Amino acid sequence: MTKGNKEITIYDVARALQISPSTVSRGLKDHPHIKKETREKIKALASEMGYQRNKFASSLRKQRTDTIGVVVPKLNSYFQATVIAGIEKITNMHGYGLLISQSQESGKQEMTCISTLFNSRVDGMIVSLAYDTKNMNHFNILFNKNIPVVFFDRVADCHGCMSVIIDNFKAGYEATSHLIEQGCMRIAHLGGNLLRNVYSERFKGYKQALTDNGIKYDQDVLIISELSDEAGISSVHKLMKMKNRPDGIFAANDATAVAAICELQKLGVKVPEEIAIAGFNNEPVSKVVKPNLTTIDYPAIDMGEIAATSLINKLKNTGTSNLSTIVLNHKLIIRGSSLRNK
């Protein structure tokens, strides 16, 4: 804010109140050595005069911006939005601002996001990798400057990085084992890009559950896609054309699972009687579709809070800053889409 063309400074406020600039500065920061009555006068007049803190100048002095960068694959994802809410809760508590960017599931766009946030001088970053990111070279500008990075959900192995995840292998194993317990003997897996840890681990868990229950893995019923609504629909048509149709489906996210349920019902296939289905993430849509979707509850809000807390601890060199991987609890939520044995 300015008065005319002039930027209002603490010196202007100090002159108006006939006190020292240092007293104004400390009063604006609620310093306990400044009387409450004086602090209130300082803030009231500063606001009236249109004083605005010069955060850029302050950042130069402190050599930090008190800003954290966040890169997510998509902002319109319920899971990612919930993680961001958890991050924001913690950063607000500690006085950090957020700069949020989305890679749009593109490794190339992710490079641009990282570069832009680096040039914005963020103190640290919280990142979930894009669908097709193949290497970590674009993170070197951060690592070389000792800018801490915390990965969540979609993570990568790198020296000195921290990660917040769930046990995707165990979750995939549990979902598949549940379908087997319900009598399924030929279970299709609708998975994502196996480059990403979340999808490769869910697939490995699925495969291990089949092996442990004496069921032979069949590559024909593994369908890898971008896990969209359209992918769920096309996957159903591909599976229905098979001579030996599956009697169960484990989808690596809820959107694909719900699309599959709706398409199967359009084709006159009964869920779960003919095909039992389980998804992943426990998104709101899982409780809207009929029958309600069996899924894995993913603690998104906790993931955001813990990722932000870990990064801030790293920035302050306290607490959990030396932990490399934090594994959160998940839970299998059993609903009607898989319940054959009622």
pLDDT tens digits for range 168-225:
999 999 999 999 999 999 999 999 999 999 999 999 999 999 999 999 999 999 999 9
Residue 330: CA atoms inside 13 Å, Cβ hemisphere, count? Answer: 27
Cβ neighbour number for residue 78 with a 10 Å cutoff: 15
All residue ranges of the chain with pLDDT < 70 are: 1-6, 53-64, 318-323, 342
Cβ neighbour number for residue 151 with a 10 Å cutoff: 25
pLDDT of residue 322: 55
| Domains in the chain with CATH codes | 2-53 (1.10.260.40), 63-166+300-329 (3.40.50.2300), 168-298 (3.40.50.2300)
Candidates 186, 223, 220; CA nearest to 203 is: 223
Omega within 30 of 0 (cis) for the link into 272: yes
pLDDT of residue 5: 53
Q: What is the pTM of this model?
A: 0.81
pLDDT of residue 4: 47
Candidates 316, 311, 323; CA nearest to 142 is: 311
Give every CB contact of residue 60 below 8 A, 6+ residues apart in sequence: none
Burial class of residue 24 in the structure, from the number of CB atoms within 10 Å of its CB (0-12 exposed, 13-18 middle, 19+ buried) = buried
Residue type, 125: M
Omega within 30 of 0 (cis) for the link into 299: no
Q: Is residue 194 classed as helix, strand or coil in its secondary structure?
A: coil
Cβ neighbour number for residue 300 with a 10 Å cutoff: 24
